[in-house]
Amino acid sequence: MSIGTNHEELVELLAFYGELGVDCTLAEEAVDWLHHGHAAPGEPIRQALKPAPNSRDGTSAVRSGAAPAGAQQQHSEGAKSAGALRSEHRAPAAGSAGGGPLEPGVAAARTLAARAKSLEDLRLALDSYEGCALRATAKNTCFYRGATRARLMIIGEAPGRDEDLEGRPFVGRAGQLLDRMLAAIGLNEELVHITNVVYWRPPGNRTPTLQETQSCRPFLERQIQFVEPELVLLLGGAAAKNVLDVSDGIMRLRGKWKDVNMGGRSLRALPTLHPAYLLRTPAAKRLAWRDLLSLRRTLEGSS
């Protein structure tokens, strides 16, 4: 497309960017990531698709190796073979990172998360973590909002635009609806801990990929160890599938309590509809209301 400088052409260009999912600027100057070598977003994946030079079966030392921390680790993990990477892509969900080969960045995430002795340590660990590709385009890390210890933890999908700007989960329109939903059953931010399955905004608000959720998972598990929830409310299909390690859609999952083990804790998890979906589909609010009543009954019953 040849671009001039008149108004209509610029509007057309912006519309084109919008269709690609580019809906905000990150900096004054465009970055030519192709000239950044290893620093480019996606570089570890690109490297991973190259066959390892000295490995006959295509596996690399990383699969069995120890877990050094930091960005260098990410690059060495990025040297995994195409075979190793493809088999990881077939993993059913983020929860399966436990026994099998590791996604790029997961080993470093585990090391960093395990070292954290408190939620604040964990925040610093997240700030230093380079293993999730979403960091490259996000403005801020969105860790949590609400209580540091709570019986109820609420887990959503991913920060959106408002959250990215503010550095806190669920502060935009969906978050405001979430607060009203909580208020309707007598809860507020001081009584719950609110977070997401990934800590950085996916560009264009797309659903986070398996690699992105897996690279955040060790932090989420450590977070659970500090917050010590008994119950987890899972907002939307992406959070529910990721935490429960299932492929069913949210309409099938919602309203049904499931037992789940995360961060070494046995939790009861309730999937429900995402507030952003409820904003678009007000008729579905009656289903969410049923789920909220179930949550309130369980909270009252187990107090």
Contact 286, 278 (CB under 8 A): no
Our CB check for ligand URA shows the closer of 133 and 234 to be: 234
Our CB check for ligand URA shows the closer of 157 and 221 to be: 157
Can you list the positions of beta strands (E) in the chain? 145-146, 152-156, 192-196, 231-235, 258-262, 265-272
What binding mask, one character per residue, do residues 7-46 give for ligand URA by CB under 6 A, x or -?
A: ----------------------------------------
Contact 62, 104 (CB under 8 A): no
Q: At 162, list the tokens.
A: 């408002």
Residues 6 or more apart from 169 whose CB is under 8 A from it? 142, 143, 144, 145, 156, 159, 163, 175, 194, 195, 196
If binding is defined by CB under 6 A, does position 208 make contact with ligand URA?
no
Q: Which of residues 235-264 bind ligand URA (CB under 6 A)?
A: 235
If binding is defined by CB under 6 A, does position 109 make contact with ligand URA?
no
Which position among 77, 157, 164, 221 is part of the footprint of ligand URA (CB under 6 A)? 157
β-strands 265-272, 258-262 pairing: antiparallel
DSSP type of residue 36:
G
C-alpha triplet 250, 149, 117: angle, nearest 5°? 110
If binding is defined by CB under 6 A, does position 170 make contact with ligand URA?
yes
Which position among 103, 163, 164, 221 is part of the footprint of ligand URA (CB under 6 A)? 163
Which position among 79, 107, 125, 174 is part of the footprint of ligand URA (CB under 6 A)? 174
Distance CA 239, CA 69 (A): 27
Our CB check for ligand URA shows the closer of 170 and 219 to be: 170
Which position among 101, 159, 208, 271 is part of the footprint of ligand URA (CB under 6 A)? 159
Residues near ligand URA (CB under 6 A) are 156-160, 163, 169-170, 172, 174-175, 196, 235, 276
